[in-house]
Structure 1
Amino acid sequence: MTASATHADGQVGDRVDAGPTDADLTPYGGVEANEAWREEVRRLAAEQDAVVLAHNYQLPEIQDVAHHAGDSLALSRIAAESTASTIIFCGVHFMAETAKILSPDKRVLIPDERAGCSLADSITADELRAWKAEHPGAVVVSYVNTTAAVKAETDICCTSSNAVDVVASIPADREVLFLPDQFLGAHVQRETGRDNLHIWAGECHVHAGINGTELAARAAAAPDADLFIHPECGCATSALYLAGEGAVPAEKVKILSTGGMLDAARETSATSVLVATEVGMLHQLRQAAPEVDFRAVNDRASCRYMKMITPAALLRCLREGLDEVHVDPDTADQARNAVRRMIEIGRPGGGE
């Protein structure tokens, strides 16, 4: 069973670079993440009635100072439920946009507005409208890693935590357009068995660069290790192939969101785990299960966009009120129902 794929601009490849190298995207620096910095961040947040949210791929010091750390779905829920008047979103731009969509009356800040996302950039609202025109009546499921404009053209959003549940909730006779991540889409199709699921050929350049050859070599060198594989990874199919061929025991291969990885880390009986996702996740995993040896399948899989949220950027944001995120009210209104439906479906998404 294969899904149709519409090719976005850019190439699907074995890349491990983490985004742009232009000098104008150099992260803010010059601030040490010491105890004085942590106290100042918390003092300013309290003074401004702000809640600081950090994605699991953020720098360890940013994760540790935040009020809440988690995956996209967990942080979306926290942002929607928070009574704070200001949300400081330490992540990439689409995440802060999502918080603004859910909380239009709150001030939403991202410590560096230049922190974008290669996956979100792989489809535009115009491209989605054209795709919808080719499949009238199809249900559009957009990964939360999309712009507000794309969400406004979407029926229901999802994250890697609940993508399978979201698609399974759609009547079996309805066509589904799944976007933009082709690897997550392939995972959803495997799990649901749908033959009317059409998948956009986008990718996260960091996850796509974690390849099957590398995974196979690491697994062969550590035969007792569990494998935690994010479904955005280019190696997810290879992991299942290794299990099917008996090269790796099937019970050791776990396709998981970042929140699911935390749950699995607390439950695993393995003494070592190979992790296929952005390397920032290792910090949360090691905190959740310090007795387990967590190692990256690809230790170069670091997202430069995520790492633009530095201690200096966070302090600048709190001191100067920069950078505020705005979403056109009409766009936000159209996107809100799709995001709210995402929040209502599936497992909590792993926060804290």
Structure 2
Amino acid sequence: MYNSEELKDKILKLKKEKNAVILAHYYQEEAIQDIADFVGDSLELSRKASQTDSEIIVFAGVHFMAETAKILNPNKKVLLPDLDAGCSLADACSADEFANFRYQYPDHLAISYINCSAEVKAMSDLICTSANAVKIIQSIPKGQPILFAPDKNLGKYLIRETGRDMLLWEGACMVHEAFSIEKIMEVWKKYPKAKLVAHPESEPHLLKVADFVGSTSAMLKFVQKDDHPSYIIATEAGILHEMQKAVPQKVLIPAPSHENNTCACSECAFMKMNSLENLYQCLKLGAPEITLDPDIQTKALLPIQKMLNIS
């Protein structure tokens, strides 16, 4: 068993030998973020995936993200350190159920949040991320009915922001629904002037009291530009690593969850399934590899490319 520094050295060596690039989401463990070529949110990493010249893409994230990279790079090998790294939100919207949903509302334009399977993407008209969702919806003619899947909390937020009456799928992210407003009130007793910064996948009652709502990249930019000294961060706790590096002088408090957990914050168990060890093994063995049905891959590319063009 290698230690952390030995693993990092071996990963960097293999990456160079195999002409690979490592993309990591903000929610990955700190050691993976530090070794990645690019760290970002879904939109940023989608762009990087479409621009890379590397032969191999190692996606340190969850399954739907690696699928998106494969859709954008059909001729490249895309690896995911742990194939079981899924997503509660994507799992809440099966392809069969979504097909039936679309069938019931044939006149509606289907906009799907990027946190969904390749099969659902292939049945969608447009894809969006939390960073560009408002812009995507505003690009749709006002007379066009819209159905939005799979995140109902993000959907409700977008309805408020855009004024569009959308039909929503009843899905949610278990991480962003775990925050406790009661425990946040306790944090405010200790830090009465702390600003609450929240991801739009969070529940509506939390978003109503937030000082800023935005994607992970937008949250990061906000705490950098804002002149306030302290913030409560309501998203997966992994973002705090890059955020604290950007603003070392500021106090960042992870929003507490309902669970009586040791860190008092919300973590995605799926995101944390990736480790330096399985990242190393993944590069060494060239597996697990993401493979998709060619027809689904072709169909899923269209709404993603539309998103990138609008963005």
Structure-2-length-normalised TM-score: 0.94
**Number of the residue aligned with 2:197:** 228
CA distance in 2, matches of 1:304, 1:42: 26
Is 1:161 equivalent to 2:149 in the alignment?
Answer: no
Deviation at 1:300, TM superposition (A): 3.2
**Number of the residue aligned with 2:260:** none
SS of 1:140 mapped into structure 2: strand
Superimposed CA distance per residue, residues 245-285 of structure 1 (whole angstroms, 9 cap, x where no aligned partner): xxxxxxxx000100101111210211111000001111011
SS of 1:201 mapped into structure 2: coil
**Number of the residue aligned with 2:310:** 345
SS of 2:179 mapped into structure 1: coil
Matches within 5 A, 1:116-265: 116-195=86-165, 197-234=166-203, 236-240=204-208, 242=209, 253-265=211-223
Deviation at 1:164, TM superposition (A): 1.1
Matches within 5 A, 1:88-103: 88-103=58-73
Is 1:66 equivalent to 2:36 in the alignment?
Answer: yes
Superimposed CA distance per residue, residues 19-58 of structure 1 (whole angstroms, 9 cap, x where no aligned partner): xxxxxxxxxxx54322x22221111001101000000000
Q: CA RMSD in A?
A: 1.3
SS of 1:213 mapped into structure 2: helix
Range that drifts further, 126-135 or 177-186: 126-135
Identity of aligned residues (%): 40
**Number of the residue aligned with 2:269:** 304
What amino acid does structure 2 have at the position aligned with 1:340?
Q
User: Would you say the 8 A contact 2:89–2:116 is kept in 1?
Assistant: yes
**Number of the residue aligned with 1:315:** 280
Range that drifts further, 37-46 or 51-60: 37-46
Extract unaligned runs of 5+ from structure 2: 257-263
CA distance in 1, matches of 2:25, 2:127: 18
1:318–1:129 Cα change, 3 Å = same
What amino acid does structure 2 have at the position aligned with 1:276?
A
**Number of the residue aligned with 1:269:** 227
CA distance in 2, matches of 1:188, 1:265: 22
What amino acid does structure 2 have at the position aligned with 1:223?
P
**Number of the residue aligned with 1:289:** 247
Greater relative contact order (Cα < 8 A, sep 6+): 1
Deviation at 1:216, TM superposition (A): 3.4
Extract unaligned runs of 5+ from structure 1: 1-29, 244-252, 347-352
Deviation at 1:194, TM superposition (A): 1.4
Deviation at 1:313, TM superposition (A): 0.6
- Equivalenced residues, count: 304
CA distance in 1, matches of 2:89, 2:309: 24
Deviation at 1:344, TM superposition (A): 2.5
SS of 1:119 mapped into structure 2: helix
CA distance in 2, matches of 1:183, 1:71: 18
**Number of the residue aligned with 1:279:** 237
What amino acid does structure 1 have at the position aligned with 2:229?
T
What amino acid does structure 1 have at the position aligned with 2:167?
H
